[in-house]
Chain A
């Protein structure tokens, strides 16, 4: 009896200890980014592009090009990936495909979700070089789209799985076709989950550096066309982190990135709750 209570107590201490480690390390990271980021954030930082440094003079300007570049890459990529993702997610239901095949496709999507994002980067780079393009917004966008498709599809798929069977059967018994049922009934019922999936994809896409490191390139100017290379917030951080003069910009970029991720996450929660009101229980 005594040994058992001792064990109980020991593990409770270990548990509290590990929670403290987890929360502590995460609070430290958050705190570092917020404190350093907020102090280096200024109007100049978010309204100007970087000025090339003159020797002896600290490089000035801001990170406007990275903010614009990130949005230009991640928003359209999320849009495309969502369109493709919702099609696949609806198609993976049993009405269209034999469960055996849909399970294989689900497994492949899981692996695609799991492979390192740098593989998407060099995959797109190889194709880009072989058709004679150079690094640009367009290629970066394609890389991000490919990266986001499995994420968005699988989370939508999980939401669609939750739709009660009766709803589908009701639609069929009224004479709806499969496509009508999928897009008018199931899509609506699973909408909160679908939205959460899209926002998850956006959050992952906007923060990923490895896939756009070579495909989107880097530039200190604002992009003017789809074929320009551009900086993004993650690649900006990656380019500047080791230079002492660039660290304030890196922290400003990290702060903005963190805020975007935070906003996306809060938005996802609020919207999901809002749209849950409309679904049939």
Chain B
């Protein structure tokens, strides 16, 4: 009896320690990034770093504005394509598609959610970029090497599809049948039912899915790095090369680790990534809680 109690005590304490350790990782990362980026913040004001678009490490200038604009463009454009297409596809798969198709599509989508981003990047570099260079850019009357913001956004949206779709399918499936039947029985068409019942009833999960898609698109490093071109200048069109926050770290870190001020600037970039993801999760958490109350069924 006594040994069992002792074991219970030891086990509980061990689990507590492990849990505390992993939770502290959250703060550890934050503190380490912050302390490393202080160096650049001491010599440059945060305003200057965020709103100046001149990135010239040799002259000690670390303006992130161009990179931030590129990041917003790439992420925003990718989500703008991905969200409507994913939502419509998920609705089709759940509500309209024949049973057989539904059963084959779901495992397929799950596999795709797990395809590594380098694989997407490789395909984008070798096939999407030439396509953009030779067909899409001339179509819009622009000159482009194909390695540009547009290509990065397209490949990101393809990467985000399976994430949003699989989460949405799950939540659409979970809606009680009676809810849909009630709407159909008062004469609503199928699409009206989808619009006014299915979308609302699963609004919290849709928000969560979009948020997850945002996180993936915003933080994607390798695939973006392979196709965006790596130029730090304010873009004048979507067919200009650029650089996002995450891909900047990947392309610059290896070569410039030795210069403290530059390293510190890259740490600041990582810190910004961390803070933005954190803020978005808090925002998502709060919206989710409100939405759950609002659309309770």
Residues on A close to B: CB < 8 A?
4-5, 7-8, 11-12, 14-19, 21-23, 25-26, 28-29, 32-33, 84, 87-88, 90-92, 96-97, 105, 107-112, 114-119, 122-123, 125-127, 129, 146, 149-150, 153, 177-180, 183, 200, 203-204, 206-210, 213-214, 234, 237-238, 241-242, 247, 250-251, 254, 257-258, 261-262, 264-265, 269
Q: How far is the CA of A112 from the CA of B249 in the complex (A)?
A: 19
Q: How far is the CA of A32 from the CA of B131 in the complex (A)?
A: 14
Q: How far is the CA of A150 from the CA of B23 in the complex (A)?
A: 10
Q: Are B274 and A115 in contact (CB under 8 A)?
A: yes
How many Å from the CB of A149 to the closest CB on chain B?
6
Contact bitstring B107-134, A, C-beta under 8 A = 1, else 0:
1101110111111111101110000000
Let me know if B177 is at the binding interface, CB within 8 A: no
Most chain B beta-carbon contacts within 10 A, residue among A108, A116, A179: A116
Closest to A208 in B: B116
How many Å from the CB of A232 to the closest CB on chain B?
10
Whether A33 touches B249, Cβ cut-off 8 Å, given contacts A7-B191, A22-B85, A108-B23, is no
Partner pick for B161 among A25, A105, A265, CB 8 A cutoff: A25
19 sampled A-B residue pairs with Cβ under 8 A: A11-B191, A15-B92, A15-B96, A18-B86, A29-B119, A91-B19, A111-B277, A111-B281, A114-B215, A115-B278, A116-B219, A118-B250, A119-B270, A123-B33, A127-B32, A210-B250, A234-B222, A251-B122, A261-B114
Closest to B18 in A: A87
Which B156-189 residues have a C-beta within 8 angstroms of A? 158, 161-162, 165, 189
Most chain B beta-carbon contacts within 10 A, residue among A108, A114, A129, A241: A114
Q: Are B118 and A8 in contact (CB under 8 A)?
A: no
User: What B residues does A91 contact at CB under 8 A?
Assistant: 15-16, 18-19
Interface size on B, residues (CB 8 A): 81
Q: Are A26 and B161 in contact (CB under 8 A)?
A: yes
Let me know if B139 is at the binding interface, CB within 8 A: no
User: Which stretch of B1-9, B58-66, B231-239 is in the interface?
Assistant: B1-9
How many Å from the CB of B173 to the closest CB on chain A?
16
Q: How far is the CA of A126 from the CA of B12 in the complex (A)?
A: 32
Closest to B247 in A: A118
Q: Are B7 and A177 in contact (CB under 8 A)?
A: yes
**Top 8 A-B pairs ranked by shortest CB distance?**
A207-B116, A116-B219, A179-B11, A177-B8, A15-B92, A91-B15, A114-B215, A210-B221
Closest to B190 in A: A8
Partner pick for B12 among A4, A5, A96, A114, CB 8 A cutoff: A96
How many Å from the CB of B222 to the closest CB on chain A?
5
User: What B residues does A112 contact at CB under 8 A?
Assistant: 25-26
Residues on B close to A: CB < 8 A?
4-5, 7-8, 11-12, 14-16, 18-19, 22-23, 25-26, 28-29, 32-33, 36, 84-86, 88-89, 91-93, 96-97, 105, 107-108, 110-112, 114-123, 125-127, 158, 161-162, 165, 189-192, 212, 215, 218-222, 226, 246, 249-250, 253-254, 257, 266-267, 270, 273-274, 277-278, 280-281, 285
Q: Are A126 and B115 in contact (CB under 8 A)?
A: no
Q: How far is the CA of A213 from the CA of B247 in the complex (A)?
A: 12
How many Å from the CB of B245 to the closest CB on chain A?
9
How many Å from the CB of A63 to the closest CB on chain B?
13
Most chain B beta-carbon contacts within 10 A, residue among A19, A22, A153: A22
Partner pick for A241 among B97, B111, B125, B189, CB 8 A cutoff: B125
How many Å from the CB of B3 to the closest CB on chain A?
11
Q: Are B115 and A22 in contact (CB under 8 A)?
A: no
Q: Are A234 and B32 in contact (CB under 8 A)?
A: no
Q: Are A88 and B92 in contact (CB under 8 A)?
A: no
Q: Are A111 and B189 in contact (CB under 8 A)?
A: no
User: What A residues does B162 contact at CB under 8 A?
Assistant: 26
Q: How far is the CA of A200 from the CA of B113 in the complex (A)?
A: 10
User: What B residues does A234 contact at CB under 8 A?
Assistant: 116, 118, 222
Q: Are B92 and A18 in contact (CB under 8 A)?
A: yes
Q: Are A114 and B277 in contact (CB under 8 A)?
A: yes
User: What B residues does A126 contact at CB under 8 A?
Assistant: 32, 36, 267
Q: Are B119 and A18 in contact (CB under 8 A)?
A: no
Whether A118 touches B249, Cβ cut-off 8 Å, given contacts A16-B92, A19-B89, is yes
Q: Are A258 and B119 in contact (CB under 8 A)?
A: yes
Closest to B27 in A: A108
User: What A residues does B273 contact at CB under 8 A?
Assistant: 115-116, 118-119
User: What B residues does A241 contact at CB under 8 A?
Assistant: 121-122, 125-126, 226
Q: How far is the CA of A107 from the CA of B118 in the complex (A)?
A: 28
How many Å from the CB of B104 to the closest CB on chain A?
10
Q: Are B19 and A87 in contact (CB under 8 A)?
A: yes
